[in-house]
Amino acid sequence: MGIKSILKFSLKFKLTQNEVEFSIDDEKSLFKSLKRGIKMNIKLHFKKAFTVSLLGLSGLSLIACSQSAIPKKVEDENAQISSIEQIKKNGVVRIGVFSDKPPFGYLDAQGKNQGFDVEIAKHVAKDLLGDENKVEFVLTEAANRVEYLKANKVDIIFANFTVTPERKEVVDFAQPYLKVALGVVSPKDQPITDIAQLKGQTLLVNKGTTADSFFSKQHPEIKLQKYEQNTETFDALKDKRGVALAHDNLLVLAWAKENPNYTVGIANLGEQDLIAPAVKKGNTELLDWLNQDLQKLSQEGVIQQAYEKTLKPVYGDGISEKDLLVE
């Protein structure tokens, strides 16, 4: 089928129960525009005429549309997409978690989600929908957490999300439940115990993490090698692609215990931060409910139980409960 044949078409769109038709008038001009790669305007008949701008080189994109053509009911439904009512209607709450950050969020040998964040998330699902199994764990990376909320791919993020002023501008954080700072892990035979040792060296970090932001802004003299996944970053350290790795101190301390040839030479770097779950910016209904539920879970000892089950076996007596949990 030729391009001109393809351009001769009539499309139908269904918006709720209203059926709307439109067709392209100026086929010849459209063909020439696409061929030349220039911008042109074409009128589409959509009950009320409105203008669409087409870019020949970058493809077709609708950039303007009569607001009256979109039923208010559809707008209202879209506005409520992450609301409690919509979650209950779906019968499942979508929670973003890590797949490779033990002991906070990871997949076990059977492919099941485990970790501190996961334990709390299950209780949140139970309180919201009456069953902890009514949760869909969506695997995310550090750099994707904000985007997943913006794009409505998840309802809540429980992925070791450090609260920062920059992130507060794009997501709404709930009540924090963990304390955290930055840590630097390095080979035991070549330990990094001071930031000054990193000048001119390659430091390994994960994209979109607090460590990435901290060193990018505060220490431009240090070369950063960035990776998407935690497993990639730690493998890079083992392969000596960098002299050290910077991440949340709770993570590097846990990793060093499992890898005795490495040591956390810098255990507390920068200011102490807080870790909290997050929802899409502006979703105050879900945010208010989540804050109340986290308060309830804390009072009932659920968060402490999650600590006993997932974190204490890793850290032992080396880190006290008071140093980790937010009261």
Residues 117, 100 within the same domain: yes
* 110 phi, psi to nearest 5 deg: -95, 5
Residue 83: its pLDDT value, please?
82
Please check whether residue 63 lies inside any domain of the structure: yes
Residues 189, 251 within the same domain: yes
pLDDT (average), residues 37-61: 37
6, 41, 82: which is closest to 286 by C-alpha?
Answer: 82
Residues 49, 186 within the same domain: no
pLDDT band at 57 (very low <50, low <70, confident <90, very high): very low
Please check whether residue 327 lies inside any domain of the structure: no
Residues 281, 154 within the same domain: yes
Domain termination site, one of 274, 290, 310: 274
Residue 50: its pLDDT value, please?
35
Residues 21, 59 within the same domain: yes
Residues 162, 293 within the same domain: yes
Element (H, E) at 194: none
Please check whether residue 39 lies inside any domain of the structure: yes
What is the CATH classification number for the domain harbouring 191? 3.40.190.10
10 Å CB burial of residue 132 (0-12, 13-18, 19+) is: middle
| Tokens standing for residue 90 | 């779906």
Q: Which residues, other chains included, contact 257 with Cβ-Cβ below 8 Å and sequence gap of 6+? A: 314, 315
The residue segments making up the domain with residue 52 are 3-72
Q: Peptide bond preceding 71: is omega within 30 degrees of 0, i.e. cis?
A: no
pLDDT (average), residues 54-78: 40
Residues 301, 266 within the same domain: no
Residues 110, 231 within the same domain: no
Residues 51, 8 within the same domain: yes
How does pLDDT run across 271-321, given as a tens digit for each residue? 889 999 999 999 999 999 999 999 999 999 999 999 999 999 988 877 788
Please check whether residue 254 lies inside any domain of the structure: yes
Tell me the whole-structure pTM to 2 decimals: 0.67
Residues 229, 107 within the same domain: no
Cα–Cα distance between 87 and 92 in angstroms, integer? 6
Residues 137, 265 within the same domain: no
Q: Which residues, other chains included, contact 27 with Cβ-Cβ below 8 Å and sequence gap of 6+? A: 4, 7, 8
How does pLDDT run across 211-270, given as a tens digit for each residue? 999 999 999 999 999 999 999 999 999 999 999 999 999 899 999 999 999 999 998 898
Number of domains the chain is built from: 3
Domain termination site, one of 25, 55, 72: 72
* Lowest-pLDDT range of 4-13, 131-140, 238-247, 313-322: 4-13
Residue 40: its pLDDT value, please?
35
Cα–Cα distance between 254 and 102 in angstroms, integer? 8
* Lowest-pLDDT range of 39-43, 179-183, 303-307, 316-320: 39-43
Instruction: Reply yes or no on whether the pLDDT at 13 is more than 90.
Output: no
